[in-house]
Chains A and B, each alone.
Chain A
């Protein structure tokens, strides 16, 4: 893989893309614009993540709208694959090929000038050098995922699409893969990966596209998404020197919509996060209560996701 950044910035552009099969709408009027970096595609099973990825990959024809990769339509356009690498979700590979042969096959099909060098670099990147001469049929699920990634990276693509890539990987492999992808993204690649496991996004993706029932429910930085949802109360777990006293004082504040006392701490629901942030220390000081711990309880993707899904 080269160390230089790509000449032209990589880009994925989707405008009002929809995909339906008869009466079933798999992807419903989705638009987004991806620049270099890692974007996570989040959503429950059956939400349309795979269909969306396949639309971007040029494996499916959009029923309406446009899907462009690096300035060209992805459908019926094999030349985009010079710059696009795809890691499909399906487990099936060629069990009779060794890892090296598989990656090499990909390299040859891309008509790379230095097939063996590229193959070796790709396999090294996924840390499978010591197992590369064994048949894929003997690989574990995590190894298969990694060899698929190697095959997709061998031609140094500017856009990388991964469908549930961490499926079947153990934590150590996952961390390595995350490092690999983060590294790649910093070199100017557009990386999109789909998952329904929130934790994976937490470590890897700055940007998130949340897909629910074929629609784009949210996009952008997940913390920002959370902030945009002011109609839902924010929750804070607060521990103080005198919980009960602070609780009764806080109830009078307009920015607070509810207080709950659990053993040792308070759970406060705040309607207006900004106002609460100033109100809390002021009220605490007024009543002589010392603040020990203030933890925003649901910053994590989990609550974003749950709120969005249950909405």
Chain B
């Protein structure tokens, strides 16, 4: 089956998301963790491997996982379809016989790609600068965790954008309110936090002897099952909603 439809849609969406000088944001977002890592190396000339590891882990957990990643995936995820709905150009994609699931999946993948382009190079740079090795287990662990989180966030926010025009604000509330504070208050709610899944999986891939700023009491397998479930629910919701989406004329 030719993927021409998907490729054309993907190319269109990529240009929509990253056009108009938005790609500058990509460079800045990757540059920030790298810059901080470089400052650390500059200032703490002789530092133990343990300390370096802790700093790298802390940097990645607090700057990338907690802030940059959710922000990027929120923006790209909510705008992948949301922008077209707002502009009214979605009519062109919807007035085609293309199956709705193909539209949704393509958009999610593009949003994911844009998000990963925003954070992964930064992670690798941090690994290279501080740990001297971009393929260090810590970095590998983080890359996996971040990718999973990005996928879940993008799918979730994309689905959200089909239900409300305020998806970005609600998404921000989720990220700051729920994942930032509330979900950590009660042990049970950890199973509903994307950040927890990411942390747990990172830890699992990196090896638990690298404990530090990112440990999670959540079992990796729980994280995996919950991630799959969440992804399935988000995608199903998005597809279902897109099928029944009314294109109301906006003035």
Contacts and interface: CB of A to CB of B under 8 A. Distances in A.
| Direct A/B contact, Cβ within 8 angstroms | yes
Interface of A: 50-51, 54, 57-61, 76, 78-82, 84-86, 88-90, 92-94, 96-97, 105-106, 108-111, 151
A59 B96 contact: no
Given A51-B249, A59-B91, A105-B12, 20 more contacts: A50-B249, A58-B95, A59-B95, A59-B247, A61-B246, A78-B98, A78-B100, A79-B97, A84-B95, A86-B91, A86-B95, A89-B249, A90-B88, A90-B91, A90-B249, A92-B88, A94-B89, A96-B15, A96-B19, A105-B92
Interface in B81-122: 87-89, 91-100
Contacts of A61: 244, 246
Contacts of A111: 4-5, 97-98
Tell me which of A57, A86, A92 has the highest count of chain B C-beta atoms within 10 A of its own C-beta.
A92
Contacts of B94: 59, 78
Tell me which of B12, B15, B16, B93 has the highest count of chain A C-beta atoms within 10 A of its own C-beta.
B12
B243 interface: yes
Interface residues of B, number: 28
Contacts of A92: 87-89
B8 A82 contact: no
Given A54-B247, A61-B244, A78-B97, A109 B88 contact: no
B134 interface: no
A89 B19 CA distance: 25
B248 interface: yes
B244 A81 contact: no
B8 A105 contact: yes
A79 B99 CA distance: 9
Contact of B89 (A57, A60, A81, A93): A93
A76 B5 contact: no
Contacts of B16: 94
A58 B91 CA distance: 10
The 6 closest A-B pairs by CB, nearest first: A59-B247, A109-B96, A90-B88, A108-B8, A92-B87, A86-B95
Nearest to B19: A96
Contact of A109 (B5, B19, B87, B91): B5
Contacts of B15: 94, 96-97
B98 A109 contact: yes
B96 A110 contact: yes
B96 A88 contact: no
Nearest to B2: A111
Given A96-B15, A108-B5, A109-B8, A78 B88 contact: no
B19 A60 contact: no
B243 A82 contact: no
Nearest to B16: A94
Contacts of B244: 61, 76
29 contacts: A50-B249, A54-B247, A54-B249, A57-B95, A59-B91, A59-B246, A59-B247, A60-B247, A60-B248, A76-B243, A78-B94, A78-B96, A78-B98, A78-B100, A79-B97, A81-B95, A82-B97, A86-B91, A88-B88, A89-B249, A90-B250, A92-B89, A94-B89, A96-B19, A97-B12, A105-B8, A105-B12, A111-B5, A111-B97
B170 interface: no
Contacts of B98: 78, 109, 111
A14 B110 CA distance: 39
B172 interface: no
Contacts of A60: 246-248
B230 interface: no
Contacts of B248: 60
A59 B245 CA distance: 8
Contacts of A105: 8, 12, 92
Contacts of B91: 59, 86, 88, 90
B52 interface: no
Interface string B175-192: 000000000000000000
Contacts of A85: 95
Contacts of B250: 90
A51 B248 CA distance: 8
